[in-house]
Structure 1
Amino acid sequence: MITLSTTHEEITLGLPDRTPVANLGDLIDAHLHMPFPFRRNLHEAEAAAGVDAWLRVWGLTDEPGVAAMIARTRPAELASYISADVDSGLLQIVANQIAYQFVFDDRAEDLGQRSPGRLLPMLFESIAILRDGRRPGTPLGAALADLHRQVRERCTPAQAARWAWKSREYVHGLLYEAVAQAQPYLLQAGDCTSIRSLIAGVEPFYPLCEAAQPDELSPAELHHPVVQRLSRLSADAAVWIPDLFSAVKEQRTGGMINLALAHQRENRCTLQAAVMLAIRQINGTIKEFQDLYAEVEPDLSPSGVGYVEGMIGWMRGCYHWSRTVPRYADVATVPAVP
């Protein structure tokens, strides 16, 4: 077991029993606390076929690189891991939305890195569709309009409204990301987590967690301060976990909005030590979630419990998906000890 020094504290690499680990992926597995067991949806293969068909209908896989990206990211697999209990219809909506956001996010990153202003046309179109019901003018916009239709048909009006509002917040967040990437100063961890919470793209799925329940949650339950805090904690943990596994890829491509890379810049340490700092932050977030859930669970209705369990699905699913998805395979090429 080897100890590295950062500007604030020492970070120990290896297993608790002092057994060394081979690569950065093993180091993450050894230290990340994931108390929620692996699960997957029985309809995963059906959802994967449905995603491929849906993307073809709207012409998205005709665009260069999209089909290969979908093969590397496996959106239906992620949907299956996070939504293990939902029916096939709702799973398909979740899988379609994940695939759409992967396409949208990659397009936004490509345009935004060249110039934040290049993002405006696609952002304007998305907001007009989500807020005003405008007709789309591009294949990506047409896919979003169809996804919005699917959500309205499956969800209650209130749930669909929350979905649209959270989706607009995600769209606006991508402009923050582009501006931050273009700035000459180095983002600190706090700046990164603030932007990451906007562009995570997790909270737009929580209204679908609501729709999976037998009864609609009451406003008092949905807006309970503890339930709101659980929503924030779970969304943060769900997106920070992939940051651990994607840090190598992001570092090689010049990405900055990544929790581990933010810790590396702030502490001027190795990537391995930065990943350990990020793991400590994630473990603390998951522990706070568990403590608060135990506190509020007795007061929740069965649908309220199911809603929070949907949040757990995101943390659990993002971990198990990130460990094996080809998009993040580079994590296994970096040794655990620098």
Structure 2
Amino acid sequence: MSTVHQEIPVARPGGLSGGTLKDLIDASLHMPFPFLRNPHEADVAAGVDAWLRTWGLTDDPAVARMVVRTRPARLASCTSPTVDRGTLQIVANQIAYQFVYDDRAEDVGRRWPGRLLPMVCESVGILRDGLSPSTPLGAALTDLRRQVQERCTPAQAARWSWHGREYVHGLLYESVAQTRSVPLATGVCTTIRSLTAGVEPFYPLYEAAQSHELTPEELHHPVVERLRRLSVDAAVWTADLFSAVKEQRAGGLINLALAHQRAQQCSLADAVRLAVREINDTIGEFQALRAEIEPELSPAGVGYTQGMTDWIRGCYHWSRTVPRYADSAVAPVDP
């Protein structure tokens, strides 16, 4: 399938004095993967809007505005540039759902932590046992589960559900962390962030997008499992760089740059530099391991690892342009 290429400034090694945080990120982040977009993006964007309306998720004007600012179909396009239109629609629907769910969980968790439990329990019941929903969010998740089951094998759908449960549990951990008076350790922050990233639930869809199923030996190979971990961290930590200003103003804690700022008692710009260094190391390890394992993989295994690469690239190119994180383009490096 053809993909849409677009020329944009590529991140280059080095530092920066002055300018904005976005300038600093672009100048110092190592992003070796070229920008790609899926040619079905526009059609899928219309499909996402219709799907959200069907389940009443954008009836609230504030939620509708949030969706416009996050552009879920654009993120799906950047992270899944070669999948067919049907798979891209599921990816985009799930991204939109997770944005709505994440913001709702964050709001409820900060104000009334106990009220987050029914949200999490409903989601777990749907994902684990196929229970009937009792809320619009639950109804949307039930329909999303149906879409995945129709597209994936039973084993792939089971992995999707498992990763989805880890995601909602991560939001519960985040709520606990936000209410703690004790400073949050960086390691705890990154552990929670790997769950709330919500990236791994998409990987079974990339399994399903291949012409043949991956063998268990490929799927559970230690190097492939390590690649999954590295790709999730690199993708979500890159988004953290661009969202740091927004999260700092909102009092957020689960963000790699803000975790470095708390640990080092430094400026946000210096914290971003530390986070970029960690991301660059992660991407470097990912590249080396992927080059090592791919000669041993089937074409389906290679396509699966390409999906991991696409999330690293896609999160960068989406984060640097999405209105949700526009504050990074005006926040000065040297205030």
TM-score exceeds 0.5: yes
Are 1:213 and 1:307, in contact at CA under 8 Å, matched by a contact in 2? yes
User: Counterpart of 1:65 in 2: which secondary structure?
Assistant: helix
Are 2:14 and 2:28, in contact at CA under 8 Å, matched by a contact in 1? no
CA RMSD after TM alignment: 1.2
- C-alpha displacement at 1:212, in angstroms? 0.8
User: Counterpart of 2:160 in 1: which secondary structure?
Assistant: helix
* Counterpart residue identity of residue 35, structure 2: F
The 1:37–1:137 alpha-carbon spacing in structure 2 relative to 1, beyond 3 Å, is same
- Equivalent residue runs for 1:293-304 within 5 Å: 293-304=290-301
* Counterpart residue identity of residue 331, structure 1: S
- The yes-or-no answer on 1:154 pairing with 2:151 is yes
Counterpart selection for 2:209 from 204, 212, 224: 212
Which residue matches 1:265?
262
Are 1:115 and 1:178, in contact at CA under 8 Å, matched by a contact in 2? no
User: Counterpart of 1:255 in 2: which secondary structure?
Assistant: coil
Which residue matches 1:275?
272
Partner Cα separation in structure 1 for residue 126 and residue 210 of structure 2: 27
> Which range moved further: 182-191 or 45-54?
182-191
Which residue matches 2:196?
199
Partner Cα separation in structure 1 for residue 43 and residue 244 of structure 2: 31
- The yes-or-no answer on 1:284 pairing with 2:281 is yes
- The yes-or-no answer on 1:144 pairing with 2:141 is yes
- Equivalent residue runs for 1:98-109 within 5 Å: 98-109=95-106
The 1:16–1:286 alpha-carbon spacing in structure 2 relative to 1, beyond 3 Å, is closer
Structure 1 gaps, min length 5? 1-14
Partner Cα separation in structure 1 for residue 15 and residue 95 of structure 2: 39
Partner Cα separation in structure 2 for residue 189 and residue 22 of structure 1: 27
- C-alpha displacement at 1:116, in angstroms? 2.0
- The yes-or-no answer on 1:171 pairing with 2:168 is yes
- C-alpha displacement at 1:337, in angstroms? 2.3
- Equivalent residue runs for 1:58-97 within 5 Å: 58-97=55-94
Which residue matches 1:11?
none
Partner Cα separation in structure 1 for residue 78 and residue 14 of structure 2: 30
Which residue matches 1:12?
none
Identity %: 71
- C-alpha displacement at 1:17, in angstroms? 7.2
Which residue matches 1:9?
none
Q: Write the deviation string for residues 302-326 of structure 1: whole angstroms up to 9, x where unpaired.
A: 0000000000000000000000000
- The yes-or-no answer on 1:238 pairing with 2:240 is no
Which residue matches 1:111?
108
Q: Write the deviation string for residues 131-152 of structure 1: whole angstroms up to 9, x where unpaired.
A: 1111111111000000000000
Counterpart selection for 1:38 from 16, 35, 48: 35
Are 2:15 and 2:24, in contact at CA under 8 Å, matched by a contact in 1? no
- C-alpha displacement at 1:93, in angstroms? 0.2
Structure 2 gaps, min length 5? 1-11
* Counterpart residue identity of residue 87, structure 1: D
Are 2:231 and 2:309, in contact at CA under 8 Å, matched by a contact in 1? yes
* Counterpart residue identity of residue 116, structure 1: P
User: Counterpart of 1:201 in 2: which secondary structure?
Assistant: coil
Which residue matches 2:224?
227
Are 1:115 and 1:182, in contact at CA under 8 Å, matched by a contact in 2? no
Are 2:13 and 2:29, in contact at CA under 8 Å, matched by a contact in 1? no
- C-alpha displacement at 1:154, in angstroms? 0.3
- C-alpha displacement at 1:333, in angstroms? 1.8
Which residue matches 1:336?
333
The 1:87–1:30 alpha-carbon spacing in structure 2 relative to 1, beyond 3 Å, is same
Partner Cα separation in structure 2 for residue 328 and residue 246 of structure 1: 5
Are 1:125 and 1:136, in contact at CA under 8 Å, matched by a contact in 2? yes
The number of residues matched between the two structures is: 324
Structure-2-length-normalised TM-score? 0.95
- C-alpha displacement at 1:264, in angstroms? 0.2
Are 1:259 and 1:278, in contact at CA under 8 Å, matched by a contact in 2? yes
Are 1:101 and 1:201, in contact at CA under 8 Å, matched by a contact in 2? yes
Partner Cα separation in structure 2 for residue 284 and residue 115 of structure 1: 38
- C-alpha displacement at 1:63, in angstroms? 2.2
* Counterpart residue identity of residue 41, structure 2: E
Partner Cα separation in structure 2 for residue 314 and residue 46 of structure 1: 21
Are 2:15 and 2:27, in contact at CA under 8 Å, matched by a contact in 1? no
Partner Cα separation in structure 1 for residue 258 and residue 291 of structure 2: 32
